[in-house]
Structure 1
Amino acid sequence: MQAWQIETLGAEPVLRDLPLPVPAKGQARVRIAAAGLNFADLLMAKGSYQERHPLPFTPGLECAGVVDALGPDTTGPAVGTRVACFAGVGGLAEFGAFPVETLTPIPDTMSFETAAGFQIAYGTSHLALGHLGRLRAGETLLVLGAAGGVGLTAVEIGALMGARVIACARGEEKQAIARAAGAQETLDSETADLKAALRAMGGVDVVYDPVGGAAFDAALRATRPGGRLLTIGFASGEVPQVPANLLLVKNLSVIGMWWGGYAKFAPHILQDSLSTLFAWQAAGKLRPHVSHLLPFAELAVGLELLRNRRATGKVVIGIQQQ
């Protein structure tokens, strides 16, 4: 089989011929149809992600395909089952052997391309807004990086939860995509005084921030007393430093959110969230947005789209027909 490999941290992935994986006990082998790209793939390739894997390794946090073999004495999705997989690594290959607990059956109505980029983006936003942020109907939600992979799902889920959603994104095209996903109001991320603009809109109750940097600082100062700020990531490359005195005087909470961590310390919460999301998808309540579907050979193009923040919604790599 063919698989992309990270052989040297900081270098581009290389395409290699590798032996077909043999699933061990507790694993299933998946014939992979598509893999979703995430900003974390860039960090992992540099060695700056919170999880590190021994070199060489096959990147790709999430993928979708068909189970084609089970390991010995293993109970899991039957051979032939269409599944989405979150294993944290191994998705950018023609086949992968994954723990059965990382596989979620997907409905026949859901394409592999949609399923491949569904779990992390929607799962992050659903757990962040509902479980951690305690977003309530009628509250004002500010989404930074609102047209990106996770940001767009936060707009959509926030609107479903009954919030007034303010989407912050660069340029009119991206703002229009956020409005189509449910944002009632939008702001350009290049606004000269973002803090003043947000205050003029009445302030915010919950901030969803996958960007960091100056945007977080502006949002912090525009958050109403009792507000919650959800730290999702740092696509700007700048990790904000939080002035604790502001938290004190305004009774604010800053909450970190790493979706993959739930697979280790609270997998039942993650699985309950995914069950809800797949049910919403089946009911037509969610409209996943894939801005780029690229062939397997063009992984570098997909990574560059993420690196330069030129994609909207998800970038998905098609791997093989099923």
Structure 2
Amino acid sequence: MKAILCKAFGLPDTLTLEDIASPVPGPGEVLTQVKACSLNFPDTLTIRNMYQFKPALPFSPGSESSGIVTAVGAGVTHVKPGDRVFTFGSHGGLAEERISDARATIRLPDGMDFITGASTMYAYGTSYHALKDRGQLTANSGSEPETLLVLGAAGGVGLAAVELGKLMGATVIAAASTAEKLAVCQQKGATHLINYTTEDLRERLKEITQGKGVDVIYDPVGDQWAEPAIRSLAWRGRYLVVGFAGGEIPKIPLNLALLKGSSIVGVFWGAFTQKEADLSQKNMQQIATWAMQGKISPYISKHYSLAEAPQALTDMMERRVVGKAVVVL
């Protein structure tokens, strides 16, 4: 089979496309013929040895994919050869065939195509868990909807948070780096838009919330935006630590949480799917239902071939991707 390989940690242009032997599933594993692999920012970190999961070299990048089950290992009963599935893990998706943990392999709803399947569960799973389980986002705070600020709102998880926040009844404030990206955020349901490369984030948030502050902040960016965002929280606000796509992991003065009676809350969807599998499955069922009802849909900026996967990862690193980049096999 053909696979994109990371043989030494480095930038995407060091990845190679090679023919390798087809894998064989062991106990508790599933082998799929990959049809689509949706890329996420952590994929760009994994190939540089900068992510918390560190696969042994060589490995194929790509955390989430969809495809057809071709074989299962001992003990696997919930999927069988021929089933259409979504699967995720720290790596393995940028290949014609993929071995996955059976616990991270879920049957696709009837009628959901492979590209949508590969683009939905990771982003919406992360964002729904963040907003519902960790952020306790509610439609009403007193007599008014809660406000949700989404940083990096034009990325894959960011756009999912914008869309879900709107669906869950919040007033959504989208912050991104260009007018073009913000236009997509508006299409997905954002009521207010902030270009944080040309506008003062704190001043705009004061203006939008009339000085009250933001109830929930969804932050997959970190870096220089984290502290001004936390300073803009409302009383009992919740700041959701989703990721650090901006590069630097910020150091936060903890007195800010004290003064606002606020919460700084970690969001680790991958661990959640393992440690709280029943609740995770319920979340997935809700996401699949909304997707099939047309209430949510991933924004896909571009399709790439397997050979073009290094370019797709470069585009992600250079902030040229709006929503999702998908490698189609």
Matched, 1:285 2:295: yes
Task: Report the equivalent of 2:9.
Answer: 9
Residue 167 of structure 2 corresponds to residue 160 of structure 1: yes
Report the alpha carbon displacement of residue 28 of structure 1 after superposing the two structures with TM. 2.0
How far apart are 1:130 and its partner, in Å?
0.3
Moved more, 96-105 or 251-260: 96-105
After TM superposition, list the pairs within 5 Å mapping 1:65-104 onto structure 2: 65-72=67-74, 74-104=76-106
Aligned residue number for residue 278 of structure 2: 268
Q: Does 1:313 align with 2:295?
A: no
Deviation, 1:181, is 0.5
TM-score by length of 1: 0.96
**Separation in 2 of the partners of 1:306 and 1:73?**
38
The answer (yes or no) to whether the contact 2:120–2:297 under 8 Å persists in 1 is no
TM-score scaled by length of structure 2: 0.94
Question: 1:167 & 1:142 partners in 2: Cα distance?
Answer: 6
Alignment of 1:212 onto 2:222: yes
Q: Equivalent residue for 1:201?
A: 208
- Matched residue type, 1:142: L
1:25 CA drift (Å): 2.4
Query: Could you tell me which residue of structure 1 aligns to residue 142 of structure 2?
Result: none
Q: Which string of whole-angstrom CA distances, capped at 9 and with x for unpartnered residues, describes residues 29-48 of structure 1?
A: 10100101011011111111
Partner of 1:240: 250
What code does the residue aligned with 2:100 have? F
| Partner SS, residue 310 of structure 2 | helix
- Asked if 1:117 is matched to 2:119, the reply is yes
Which residue of the other structure, out of 153, 171, 176, is the alignment partner of 1:169? Answer: 176
Give the match for residue 256 of structure 1: 266
Partner residue of 2:153 out of 146, 161, 176? 146
Determine the structure 1 residue equivalent to 2:55: 53
Long gaps (5+) in structure 2: 140-144
Match of 1:20 among 22, 45, 48: 22
* Superposition deviation, residue 73 in structure 1: 5.1
Contact 1:28-1:76 within 8 A present in 2 as well: no
* Alignment check: 8 A CA contact 2:4 2:306 kept: no
Residue identity over aligned pairs, in percent, reads: 41
Q: CA RMSD in A?
A: 1.3
Supply the distance in 2 between the matched residues of 1:267 and 1:73 (Cα, whole angstroms).
18
Superposition deviation, residue 239 in structure 1: 1.3
1:62 aligns with 2:64: yes
Q: Deviations over 1:139-192 (max 9, x none)?
A: 000001111111000000000000000001122211110011011111112134
Contact 1:26–1:75 at 8 Å: present in 2 too?
A: no
Query: Is 258-267 or 77-86 further displaced after alignment?
Result: 258-267
Instruction: Report the Cα distance in structure 2 between the residues aligned to 1:146 and 1:114, rounded to whole angstroms.
Output: 20
- Render the CA deviation track for 1:206-260: whole Å, top value 9, x for unaligned: 0001111222121111111110000111111121111111111111111111211
Per the alignment, residue 37 of structure 1 pairs with: 39
Question: Partner of 1:184 in structure 2?
Answer: 191
Equivalent-residue separation in structure 2 for 1:192 and 1:31 (angstroms): 46
